[in-house]
Amino acid sequence: MPESQERSKELSGEAQERIYRTLGQGVTSSWSNLPQAIQQELFEAAVKSEGERMREPIAQFLHREHHRTKSGMQARAMPEPDSKGG
């Protein structure tokens, strides 16, 4: 058994859950600074971990919280001026 797995067995379930939550919060707060390839890899790992049913909720959360995506969504929501200058 790899050493990391042996050490994780020493932690209580509550401690492990707290570590997962803390790491998740750290990733979320740093998401905008991560390269797109890393974002995709983390996203797919999260979906794999929790199941395909979580793909859409995770994507929606990231689009809502991730400032680059949020800015893009807000820009797309702005109405285009019509040809009459309106």
- Greater pLDDT, 38 or 10: 38
Q: Which residue has the higher pLDDT, 41 or 9?
A: 41
Amino acid identity at 82: D
pLDDT band per the 50, 70, 90 thresholds, residue 76 = very low
Residue 83: which pLDDT band, with cuts at 50, 70 and 90? Answer: low
Q: Which residues fall within 8 angstroms of residue 59, CB to CB, at 6 or more apart?
A: 43
- What secondary structure letter does DSSP report for 80? P
pTM of the model: 0.63
pLDDT at residue 57, as a whole number? 96
| Position 43, amino acid | F
Is 31 within 8 Å of 62 (Cβ atoms)? yes
pLDDT of residue 3: 62
Measured CA to CA, the distance from residue 28 to residue 34 in angstroms comes to 10
Spatial distance between the Cα atoms of 33 and 39, rounded to a whole number of angstroms:
9
